Structure formats: C-alpha cells, structure tokens
Structure 1
Amino acid sequence: MLLNIHPENPDEKRMLQVVDVLRSGGVIIYPTDTVYSIGCDVNNVKAVARVAHIKGLKPEKANFSIICYDLSHIAEYARVNTPEYKMMKKNLPGPFTFILNGSSALPKIFKSNKKEVGIRIPDNNIARQLVQMLGNPLIATSVHDDDEVLEYTTDPELIHEKYEKLVDIVINGGYGNNEASTIIDYTSGEPELVRQGIGDLVY
C-alpha cells in the first residue's frame, strides 16, 4: 500500500494506520531527512528478521540504526556521557547517525553481535511522530537503488513499485534525498567521522 502523508503536518488518522501495522509486526518504508528507510518496531524480533531478509542479511549480522524521538529517548538505549550529549544537542534533530555504546535496554537483536548502536533523530516529522506514537524506536536501514549512478531511490512511487510485495506500507512523504546521513562514531569517547554525508557537524 502506498500511503500519502504530508511531511510537515502528518495526518493523525493515517499515522495511526501505520502505527497499527507496526504494532502488529508490519514492515514499512518511510521518509527521513536524508534517504527513505525500511523499518519496523525495534522490539518485534520477527519484523526485524523480515527487514534483514529484505536487505539480504542475517538479522544478527545487520548493522541497523534506530530512530529515536528526542535526546531523552536516546538515553534509554545508549550510554551517553556529557560530551556526547552536548554534541548531539547541537546537531539533532538532523541528518546524522551517532554510533554509541548500547545500554542494557537495547533489544537482543543488537546485543547478539555488538555492543554499540547507530542512533538517529531525523529532522522529519513523519519519522519522529511515528516513533512517539508507537512508543518504541524504529529500525532504520536505507532504501538503495539498483541504478549504478544513483545510490538511493528518491521517488516514493518508484520505491512502492519495487517493494510493494515485500513491505506492508510505503509512506509517500515527498521526494527523499539521494545522500545519506553523516556518521559519527562516539564509542571511544572522542567523535570520529566514519562517513561524511549530507550533514555538516557543528562542534
């Protein structure tokens, strides 16, 4: 199903429709402030396995990020010290993925293969409100393109054509970007740039 949702003012009824699908173990494709992502409720093991299968990965080998609603939400799933907190406060919501040391609340799927987790708070109302309404973070893994020139598919209608049999809902929240987030590894206590993406970090 292709579901149109306004990116600035998401329709509550349609958002609840998506949340119901997520609660029942569904998999969706949704917009962020960078590229479109495939995702599900982080606590639903079967749904996470479905996302991994779509990406051609074993769940325990998948490097999925999670979408949180705000900084206090991050503290539930990762150990955040003062320097990391100050850095994230300056840059989030925004097009960044911060790799942090995970907390004991991190779902088992993450703990099986690593102790760290990539965390995002995208500057996108649809993604953040879905997390808020669901009450749990969303898995986030980018929708890649088969095209040799473009790495990411930006047109939600084309995404729907490709994935409609694999996912339950594709949200049309307008065209996405074709550049991914900037990744910062903070697991050693010092910020290390892993990938320069669309976001320019403010120190």
Structure 2
Amino acid sequence: MAQYFVVHPENPQVRLLKQAGQLLADGGLVAVPTDSSYAVLARLDDKAAADALRRLRGLDERHHLTLLCRDLAEIGHFARVDNSQYRLLKIATPGPWTFILEATREVPRRVSHPSRKTIGIRVPNHRVTLGLIECAGSPLISTTLIPEGEDEPLNDAQLIRERYANQLAAIIDSGACPLMPTTVIDLTGPSPEILRRGQGDLASLGLA
C-alpha cells in the first residue's frame, strides 16, 4: 500500500521528501507532481524499478523514459550536448520541455532507446520534484502518469491513490498540477524536431 505524503508546494518538508527518497532507494515507484502533470519516478540504477515503471504505464522498451535532472550541469553528465544544443537548453531549463539527446555511457542501456541510444531529459520547474531529486541524490527516471489505454495524464493525488495504491511505494500530494504534458523536442537531428506539443511557448525557444 502506497504511503501518502502531503507536502507544501512552495516550502516542501525535507523530512517527508527524504522518506520518499528512501522508498525510491528501496526499489519503489513514487508518483510526484511536476510542472507538467504527475509523473512516476524510479531510481536510474534500479533495473527492476525501471521494468515496474514500464509495466505500470504499459510501455515497451522503444518508449523513451525521461531523466529528471537538477540543473543544466547535470544534463551534461548524462547526455552529449554540443554548443547549439547547450544554448537552447540554457534558455529552456528549468521548464516543461523534454529533450531527446544522445545518451552518454552513464545512462544504463535498458533506460535509453534500444536502437538509437538516446534518452529523454529535462529539468522540471517544480520545487517538490526538484527537492525529491535532491533527496534521492541523483537524477531519476520518469514517465508521465497516463493510465494505460487513456490519453490524458492524471493530476489529482487522491485519484492516483485510488487507482495505483498497490503499485506505488508513495504518492506525494502538493495540490493539483497541470494536466498538460511536456513538449518533446528531438535534438539529435540536423535541426530540432517537435515530437509532441504540450506545455511551453515554442516561440520563447525560437522554434515557433
């Protein structure tokens, strides 16, 4: 049965985030609000947790999981970023954007795309999410919490509790968050390619 943490959205209680971080360290999945709907998180280095995350969403290995990082510097440790990509990332982070980039060797092969060796990566603009990553001590893999067979992400912690209490280790409730997922931008080609339109103004990135 999932533990339920009520966390302040602006001043999250570190004690509670540390408890949730320990559940991640123990191999559990945690549902957390972000700046673009709820996401389900797992440890990057935990194969069993990554497999459980895919099962919960009904995803195959070709679906990009997203690596949530604390800042731009951390992105450079897990993805290969050239000068033009760096300039775009600097404008866009933190924010509701997911970028597809070439993964470095620091990313386990089971997490990256099996044929392209790419990874989704982003820095969320949400204090609770960033606080949890900090307490976990390393970036976390994630996917938007969209029930299998449905199109809309979830943003209500109580509803998540009703539907997933037996599949999650914890649910963090810091109030409702947006219902719209991130905009996904592939940066591995000769020019940025918009794979999914979600939150964020593309004009602010010079991509409109």
Which category describes the TM-score, using the shorter chain as reference length? Answer: over 0.9
Give per-residue Cα distances to partners, 1:98-156, cap 9 Å, x unaligned.
111111111131347131111011101111122122122111111125797x7122211
Counterpart secondary structure, 1:31: strand
2:80 counterpart SS class: coil
Q: Report whether the alignment pairs 1:3 with 2:5.
A: yes
Cα distance in 2 for residues equivalent to 1:65 and 1:177 = 18
Moved more, 68-77 or 100-109: 100-109
> Residue in 2 aligned with 1:143?
145
The correspondence of residues 94-173 of structure 1 with structure 2, limited to 5 A, is 94-111=95-112, 113=114, 114-145=116-147, 151-173=152-174
> What TM-score, normalized to structure 1?
0.92
Q: List alignment gaps of at least 5 residues for structure 1.
A: none
Deviations 1:53-78 (A, max 9, x none): 111234x3442111011001001110
- The 8 Å contact of residues 57 and 147 in structure 2, kept in 1 or not, is answered as no
Q: Which stretches of structure 1, 4 residues or more, deviate above 4 A after TM superposition? A: 145-148
Which residue of the partner structure matches residue 43 of structure 2? 41
Deviations 1:28-69 (A, max 9, x none): 1011100100111111111111111111234x3442111011
The structure-2 alpha-carbon separation of the partners of 1:178 and 1:111, relative to structure 1 and needing over 3 Å to count, comes to: closer
Point out the more displaced range, 135-144 or 36-45: 135-144
Q: Distance in 2 between matches of 1:167 and 1:67?
A: 19
TM-score w.r.t. length of structure 2? 0.90
* Aligned-pair CA distance for 1:185: 0.6
CA RMSD across the alignment:
1.7
1:165/1:199 Cα in 2 relative to 1: closer, same or farther (>3 Å)? same
Q: What stretches of structure 2 of length at least 5 have no aligned partner?
A: none
Give the SS at the match of 1:48.
helix
Secondary structure (helix, strand or coil) at the match of 1:21 reads helix
Give the counterpart letter for 1:101 in structure 2: E
From the two aligned structures, give the one with the greater strand fraction. Answer: 2
Show CA shifts across 1:136-180 (max 9, x none).
Answer: 2111111125797x7122211111111111101011021021111
Structure 2 Cα separation of the partners of residues 17 and 85 of structure 1: 34
Give the structure 2 partner of residue 183 of structure 1.
184
Q: AA paired with 2:43?
A: D
Task: Summarize the Cα distance change of 1:147–1:7 in structure 2 as closer, same or farther, 3 Å threshold.
Answer: farther
Distance 2:149 2:64 in 1: 23
Instruction: Give the fraction of aligned pairs with identical amino acids, expressed as a percent.
Output: 32
Q: Distance in 2 between matches of 1:7 and 1:22?
A: 20
Contact 1:4 1:173 in 2 (8 A): yes
The structure-2 alpha-carbon separation of the partners of 1:161 and 1:6, relative to structure 1 and needing over 3 Å to count, comes to: same
